[in-house]
Structure formats: structure tokens, C-alpha cells
A = this chain, B = another copy of it.
């Protein structure tokens, strides 16, 4: 950590801060310059955070040297983590596609959609039973009945299932029915939920918040690992920018960046990442090309009557086209679709 003092800081300030650094067992450094005095503290950034020097009136700025996360960092854990999702492995040489509707609506909708997904080669099934909706007047999901229907459909078509959990009190019930728990973008910094999911014993799919920096996503994952859960899958799903032509801006830069910084696997959700059906396939191919470990894709047997997110859901034929286009791109970057 580098600490830059204000030009008017007296000599005693430097002395006082160097002593606070030493008292924490860290190595202090003193670099007096012509225009600013610069201090350094080298050591564990977790201890450095306790110094809380940013409130000091004579401190102009503080610049961290090391990443603030540890357990998720590739520095200490250089090998890729492979997370089991049912019988599917996420994060190895394979490229994994999880598909399904935004929400569990009806048994026939679930069965028709899952059948189409399976036929086209999907590896897993997604659908929401608890739905976070911007408006209180929108469909909020079927809850536990939805979970049961999802589980039954997954079993019928031999597809592992993932579904969102929205609050601490539901972690147990969701973990009972699902092969993996999804923490949605709006809850990426719901720290109570992260801690509960970190203790649930099931893999967790953690989506990036719509205005979360990648570093904040990694710190949110650190909450899960700090609770003992190493089965964590990250997911880029688009960030919020000034562009209004699409629902979100899919940030694919994040994929190779995440792969460098952490050992955890990362998926891409091109459905939320664009919000526009016609953009889903090209962005899915781009995700595969830049190193993602798989996709989370919305499809529906009939998006024209979907209860939610129809605009970004693929038709069964669209999903088939996606899978056909994906295979050669995945192969071109050394990944295997099946």
C-alpha cells in the first residue's frame, strides 16, 4: 500500500503513520520527494485495510499494491478449479451450455423447453422459481412449487438444474432441489446471502452485479470461499452503461481478465447480456472465442407468449442453430462442446 501525504503535511504526520504501520507488524517505507512525501506499507492487504488511513486529514491518496482477495486469486492457486454440476464438469476442457426459460411457468412449458434443449445438446437446465422483478406487479415466480417442477423436469430429461435463490431463508430449500444455486446480479453484494450460500454444500453460480467492477465480483466470490465453499462458478451477464440500444452491455473483456486473476470457472449469459434475441447467437460465439467456460442461455418453447424475458429468449430452432454454430468455434479455441 502506497500512502501519499498532502503537501502541507508536517514531518510528524509521516512519523505517526509509519508507527501505525509498524504496530501492525508491517514493513514501513519512507520516501520523501520534492513535492510530496510518499509512505509505503508492504504486507497482507487484509491487515493493511485495518489501518484505515484514508480518513487521516493529511493523507492525499492511498494506492493498493496487491489485490484485496486471496482465496479466489490465481496467485496462490494457479490451477483451474473444475466445479461439478450434476454429472457435468464446469471449467475443464469442455464447454458447457445451460439453457432454459426465464421462469418456471407450467409443466407443459417446462417439459417442451427441456426436451428441445436436450435434443439440441444442452448440458444443463435453468429456470427461475423465485423471480426478482423490478415491479411489484410483475410475475414473481411459483416459489417452492416451481422448484419441484424444475427438479422433476431435470430428472426426466437427465439435465442438472440451476435456479436462483433470493434470500437467506430459502437457501436450504433451494439447495434441496437444485444441483447449483444461482445468486443473481441484484444480490451479488447481498452479503448475508453470500455467507449462507457459502455454507450450503452445493455449487454456487454467482452473477456479476450490473454495476459491479470485476474486482468486486471476485470479492463477492471471496465471501463464498471464506465460508468454505470452493465450488463457485462466476457469470458475466452484462453491465449497465449509457448505451440504450441493448438492455445491457455484455462485458466480454471481463472473461480473459477473470481467467487471469482467478482459478474459478466463468460462464457468459448472452441473453441478459444483450436483452435482444437476435444478438444472442453472435455474442454466445464471441464468449466461446474469448475463453469462457460455458453459457447460460434463455430459451423458451414459445417466447412470443413467455411470461417474462421473452424478448431475449431463443426459440427452440434458434437454440439448435446456436449449438450448431458453437461447435466449430469452441473447437477453434481448443474446447469441446459435448
Contact = CB atoms under 8 A, between A and B. Distances in A.
Given A65-B38, A135-B222, A278-B260, A243 B250 contact: no
Given A213-B245, A219-B134, A36 B49 contact: no
A256 B279 contact: yes
Nearest to A270: B253
What is the oligomeric copy number?
4
Interface stretch (A53-61, A106-114, A147-155): A53-61
A291 B193 CA distance: 36
A190 interface: yes
A215 to B, nearest CB: 6
A273 interface: yes
A255 B242 contact: no
Nearest to A222: B136
A187 B69 CA distance: 22
A167 B331 CA distance: 45
B7 A134 contact: no
Contacts of A40: 31, 38
Q: Which of A43, A215, A283 has the most CB of B within 10 A?
A: A283
B253 A52 contact: no
Interface stretch (A85-93, A117-125, A172-180, A308-316): A308-316
A24 interface: no
Contacts of A333: 285, 325, 328-329
Interface in A267-315: 273-274, 276-279, 282-283, 285-291, 300, 303-311, 313, 315
A330 to B, nearest CB: 9
B46 A137 contact: yes
Contact of A211 (B134, B168, B210, B300): B210
Contact of A253 (B36, B54, B273, B309): B273
Nearest to A307: B52
Contact of A42 (B34, B132, B255): B34
A77 interface: no
Interface of A: 2, 4, 7, 27, 29, 31, 33-36, 38, 40, 42-43, 46, 49-50, 52, 54-57, 63, 65-66, 68-69, 75, 132-140, 166-169, 186-187, 189-193, 209-211, 213-216, 219, 222-223, 226, 239-246, 249-257, 260, 273-274, 276-279, 282-283, 285-291, 300, 303-311, 313, 315, 325, 328-329, 331-333
11 contacts: A2-B38, A33-B43, A52-B305, A56-B303, A132-B189, A136-B223, A210-B211, A249-B251, A252-B252, A285-B289, A329-B329
